[in-house]
Amino acid sequence: MTESPAQLHPPGPPDAPWWRDAVIYQVYPRSWADADGDGVGDLPGVTAHLEHLVDLGVDALWLSPFYRSPMVDAGYDVTDHRDVDPLFGTIDDADALIARAHDLHLKVVVDLVPNHTSREHPWFRAALEARPGSPERARYLFRDGRGPFGAQPPNNWRSVFWGPAWTKARSAVFDDDGNGATRLLHKAQWYLDLFDSGQPDLDWTNPEVRAEFDAILRFWLDRGVDGFRVDVAHGLVKREGLPDWDDRTRMAGVSDRPTRESPMWDQDGVHEIYRGWRATLEEYGRARPDGTPDPDSERILVAEAWVEPIERVALYVRPDEMHQAFNFHYLNAPWRAPDLKAAVGESLRGNDLVGAPTTWVLSNHDVVRHASRLGLPVDVPCPSGIGADDPQPDAELGLRRARAATTLMLALPGSAYLYQGEELGLPDHTALPDDVRQDPAFHRSGGRELGRDGCRIPMPWKGEAPAAGFNTTGETWLPQPACYAELAVDRQRGVEGSTLELYRTLLRVRRDRGLGRAGVAEVADTPPDVVAYDLQGIEGGGGEGPRTRVVLNLGEDPIRLPEGELLVTSGPLDAGRLPVDTAAWVALP
Ligand code: NOJ
């Protein structure tokens, strides 16, 4: 790599397992495809549309929760981890989905929600019935309240979704002392819920909780799933004594202090849990005929851990723990060249510390979609949701930048996560009426936080059909904005320059040129407002493969492209030059 001295990341390894460079597509089952027409997506709908993923060129899908749930938090409140909620279908539908995906050579990752259950979970119902100090209560974090009768919550923690992180389970109990006075038998008891009061936190110091989740892992591994995305992986263990914490509780922790300073996130005790899970998963790997392990059979754990700094994230992906952790640094980086370069460099460095692949993600069901986020002013922190009264994103600018951001992301080695509909350039719904909003964060905050409904809108498949082809009845659990019909799959398939065709090309070229396992070097002498990397692919045998340069222009004027064959651009060129907010891949001679 003669022109590129600043090596950021070495190439390889050539014979690595599938997950090291997999492109994984997040299906949010409520909103992908609705086979029974009730307005909520379901598993038969997913199965019926899996060819879309093959056509797109991804390697795997991750399904957000479809388990039995009262849906207080869209299924992240589980009552039965071993069954499918009737809203989404049956366990047979789950089996059929996994089988069909495997037939199509797609891996299947499911969501695991271990930090909390639903308050309707049989364990929690039993806990409410049981006395303080009972084994039933010991599966959760019940504590006596503060004050003489326990009328105050046990500590000052706030919930991620606003309001106190404690809910009173039972008032103080008194009885008659026989002399006409009352005697306090027991103070009021409260339970911890870091999210909604419908999501009581489990006590992970309890071996029964650990055994139960090991059994849940095995249940789904036996059904053939290829991995688990682990919800709130940084939250399972709380600091002993549950000390007060004055800051707001946010998933992303505290921006200017390491996350582990807070008593609810990133405690060292979580790692032992994941080492145990890794050992369980390894029992499920298959051997090749010659007796060596088959890397294609590896099952994976993916941490959702909003942890800072990057060195702490790396601890989750040490060789005997999880396989991947979501990397939110790139997603959070402001649209400025120095910030993007820092995010890319830090992400590669942090994961290289422990030999793990970096992951990349720009959108998911918890954040404003990047086609909308990048259409907002760069210096304004992105809100949790956008409403009709808020400044609206510049849709054209947002889409141009989103396509460029994806073009940079998919050039980079490691595993990339795509969120359903981003391949269509879908924006958020930014004018949802309040009365359709369902996110508990909206309701608990009294509307101060709009929440995440805007990024969870049902997917458009056919421009002319009812509900843009989400189903045949036209019912949708959240309304679709008018622009969704124009962005439907059938409006973009085969259309030159469409976002769908851009994604298909990026994924094909990424695979052909081995970018997922490439070495990365920063291109020397790049102007400060240009991001450019050279990617050195590797051949199957380990030899040097093709060289590719990715260039993203964040300056004010179009720039010259490097010498070589132009492979793909995120938008049209301007008289042969790369315009602002546009990225390109070039095959270097
Ligand atoms: C993270 C999930 O992605 C989010 O949707 C959910 O609300 C919280 N965890 C609580 O489970």
- Per-residue pLDDT, 1: 39
Cα of 280 vs centre of ligand 1, distance in Å, is: 24
Classified as helix, coil or strand, 442 is helix
- Cis bond upstream, residue 309 (ω within 30): yes
Model confidence band, residue 252 (pLDDT cutoffs 50, 70, 90)? low
Distances (CA, A) of 569 to 195, 497, 579: 42, 9, 10
Give the residue whose CA is nearest to atom 6 of ligand 1. 76
**For the chain, percent of residues with pLDDT exceeding 90:** 87
Give the residue whose CA is nearest to atom 11 of ligand 1. 76
Dump pLDDT digits (tens) for 433-473: 999 999 999 999 999 999 999 999 999 999 999 999 999 99
Ligand 1 atom nearest to CA at 232: 9
Give the residue whose CA is nearest to atom 10 of ligand 1. 76
Cα of 396 vs centre of ligand 1, distance in Å, is: 30
Ligand 1 atom nearest to CA at 113: 11
* Active site annotation includes 283: yes
Cα of 151 vs centre of ligand 1, distance in Å, is: 29
- Per-residue pLDDT, 6: 80
**pLDDT at residue 177 greater than cutoff 90:** no
Dump pLDDT digits (tens) for 483-533: 999 999 999 999 999 999 999 999 999 999 999 999 999 999 999 999 999
Q: List the beta strands (DSSP E) in 296-455.
A: 300-303, 324-325, 359-361, 415-419
List, in order, residues 6 or more apart from 183 with CB less than 8 Å away.
Answer: 174, 175, 176, 177
Give the residue whose CA is nearest to atom 4 of ligand 1. 366
**pLDDT at residue 222 greater than cutoff 90:** yes
Cα of 196 vs centre of ligand 1, distance in Å, is: 10
Task: Report the range of poorest mean pLDDT among 143-147, 195-199, 260-264, 554-558.
Answer: 260-264
* Active site annotation includes 231: yes
Considering the candidates 231, 266, 308, 428, report the single residue annotated as catalytic. Answer: 231
Same fold, 12-117+206-504 and 122-192: no
- Per-residue pLDDT, 379: 87
Over the Cα atoms of the chain, what is R_g? 25
Dump pLDDT digits (tens) for 316-355: 999 999 999 999 999 999 999 999 999 999 999 999 999 9
**pLDDT at residue 572 greater than cutoff 70:** yes
Considering the candidates 103, 176, 256, 283, report the single residue annotated as catalytic. Answer: 283
99-123 average pLDDT score: 98
Q: What CA–CA distance (Å, rounded) separates 439 from 62?
A: 21
Cα of 262 vs centre of ligand 1, distance in Å, is: 19
Cα of 448 vs centre of ligand 1, distance in Å, is: 19
Ligand 1 atom nearest to CA at 73: 7
- Per-residue pLDDT, 539: 78
Q: Which long-range contacts (CB under 8 A, 24 or more apart) does 213-221 make?
A: 213/112, 213/114, 213/277, 214/276, 214/277, 214/280, 216/81, 216/82, 216/112, 217/112, 217/277, 217/280, 217/281, 218/280, 219/81, 219/82, 220/110, 221/280, 221/281, 221/284, 221/299
- Per-residue pLDDT, 255: 53
Task: Report the range of poorest mean pLDDT among 183-197, 227-241, 284-298.
Answer: 284-298
**pLDDT at residue 180 greater than cutoff 90:** no
Ligand 1 atom nearest to CA at 115: 11
- Per-residue pLDDT, 32: 98
Cα of 259 vs centre of ligand 1, distance in Å, is: 18
Model confidence band, residue 581 (pLDDT cutoffs 50, 70, 90)? very high
Ligand 1 binding pocket mutation candidate from 113, 193, 366, 449 (most atoms within 8 A of CB): 366
Ligand 1-lining residues (CB < 6 angstroms): 73, 76, 113, 195, 231-232, 304, 365-366
Here the tokens at position 203 are 């006590």
Annotated domain spans of the chain: 12-117+206-504, 122-192, 518-587
Model confidence band, residue 246 (pLDDT cutoffs 50, 70, 90)? confident
**Regarding the domain with residue range 12-117+206-504, which homologous superfamily does it belong to in the CATH classification?**
Glycosidases (3.20.20.80)
Dump pLDDT digits (tens) for 400-422: 999 999 999 999 999 999 999 99
Classified as helix, coil or strand, 288 is coil
- Per-residue pLDDT, 3: 45
- Per-residue pLDDT, 2: 42
Strand order in the sheet with 142-144: 142-144, 189-192, 166-170
**pLDDT at residue 254 greater than cutoff 50:** no
**For the chain, percent of residues with pLDDT exceeding 70:** 98
Give the residue whose CA is nearest to atom 2 of ligand 1. 231
Ligand 1 binding pocket mutation candidate from 118, 159, 230, 231 (most atoms within 8 A of CB): 231
Q: What CA–CA distance (Å, rounded) separates 108 from 106?
A: 7
Dump pLDDT digits (tens) for 78-89: 999 999 999 999
Q: Of 3.90.400.10, 3.30.470.20, 3.30.460.10, 3.40.50.2000, which CATH number belongs to 122-192?
A: 3.90.400.10
**pLDDT at residue 5 greater than cutoff 60:** no
Ligand 1 atom nearest to CA at 161: 7
CATH 1.20.1440.230 fits 518-587, yes or no: no
Cα of 62 vs centre of ligand 1, distance in Å, is: 14
Ligand 1 binding pocket mutation candidate from 195, 302, 326, 364 (most atoms within 8 A of CB): 195
Here the tokens at position 282 are 């390894």
- Per-residue pLDDT, 537: 86
Please check whether residue 273 is in contact with residue 217, taking contact to mean a CB–CB distance below 8 angstroms.
Answer: no
3-state DSSP helix/strand/coil percent for the chain, to nearest 5? 30, 20, 50
Ligand 1 atom nearest to CA at 77: 11
Model confidence band, residue 171 (pLDDT cutoffs 50, 70, 90)? confident
Q: Is residue 67 within a helix (H) or strand (E), and if so which, with residue range?
A: strand 67-68
List, in order, residues 6 or more apart from 309 with CB less than 8 Å away.
Answer: 258, 350
Task: Report the range of poorest mean pLDDT among 47-51, 173-177, 204-208, 554-558.
Answer: 173-177
**pLDDT at residue 585 greater than cutoff 80:** yes
